[in-house]
Amino acid sequence: MSLADSRPRPDGPVRGRPRSEAVERAIIEGVMQLLEEGVPLAELSIERVARTAGVGKATIYRRWSGKEELFVDVVRAAEPPDPELPGTSMRDDLVVLLESLRRRGLATRSSVILHNVYAQMKSSPRIWAAYHASVIAPRRALGMEVLRRGLRDGELRPDVDLELVNDMFVGPMLVRSVMRPDADLPEGLAEEIVDTVLAGLRPVSSTTP
């Protein structure tokens, strides 16, 4: 689901919904086309996007407040979808979350759009802030909720710092996918990271064998 799908719509009746969805897709694809052509983010104006998508500027502004919000939606559309957590255990949910990060890392490496987009976003504080608030922060909150459930259900030691624990799970995958672009991201890496970290975080039995 993209940010556009989750964003509150204007009050009042929405007419021609199928056509609206088609227009929204055309706008996002228009931005992607410009990025593929090498247009820098700084030159990606709403007017230029409107021309490429074959719509009026007002049509874009009815859906997005400005370039920052539109650009975040473009990134979301190019990324793999957010995962559905199985809810069977903390360990299983963490594996699904890290597998999603692994797939995003692979997508970024294989997508010229995503690679260039991330590089350009970091040079634009407003767009990076919008992306962080709309994408990164909710994902981190989801991970923290999984850890809180694990703590409640006795899957973690009660003395752990959950913020630190979250970084311990996510950090290795981010290092491989962002800081070491030449490092392997093999299948099974999510399970390996989760099980390795959990080995030192599970409650210690009070009974001696």
pLDDT tier, 24 (very low <50, low <70, confident <90, very high otherwise): very high
Whether 209 has a pLDDT exceeding 70, the answer reads no
**What local confidence, expressed as pLDDT, does residue 77 receive?**
85
Q: Around Cβ 165, how many Cβ atoms within 10 Å? A: 21
Band of residue 13 on the pLDDT scale cut at 50, 70, 90: very low
Does the pLDDT value for residue 18 go beyond 60? Answer: no
| Proportion of the chain above pLDDT 90, given as a percent | 53
Stronger pLDDT, 36 or 47, i.e. the higher one? 47
Top mean pLDDT of 95-104, 130-139, 173-182 is at 95-104
pLDDT over 90 at 179, yes or no: no
**Per-residue pLDDT at 205:** 63
pLDDT for res 149: 97
What was the pLDDT predicted at 14? 39
Average of per-residue pLDDT values in the chain: 84
Query: For residues 50 and 70, is the Cβ–Cβ distance under 8 A?
Result: no
* 29 pLDDT more than 50: yes
Joined together, the tokens standing for residue 112 give 């010229």
The rounded distance, in Å, linking the Cα atoms of 187 and 80 is 16
Average pLDDT over residues 36-51: 87
Tokens of 53: 């998508």
Q: How confident is the model at residue 17 (pLDDT cuts 50, 70, 90)?
A: very low
Task: Take residue 5 and report the two structure tokens written for it.
Answer: 């799908």
Q: Residues 44-51: what's their mean pLDDT?
A: 93
Residue 105 CA to residue 174 CA, distance in Å, equals 8
With contact defined as beta carbons under 8 Å apart, do 108 and 115 qualify? Answer: yes
0.75 cut: is pTM over it? yes
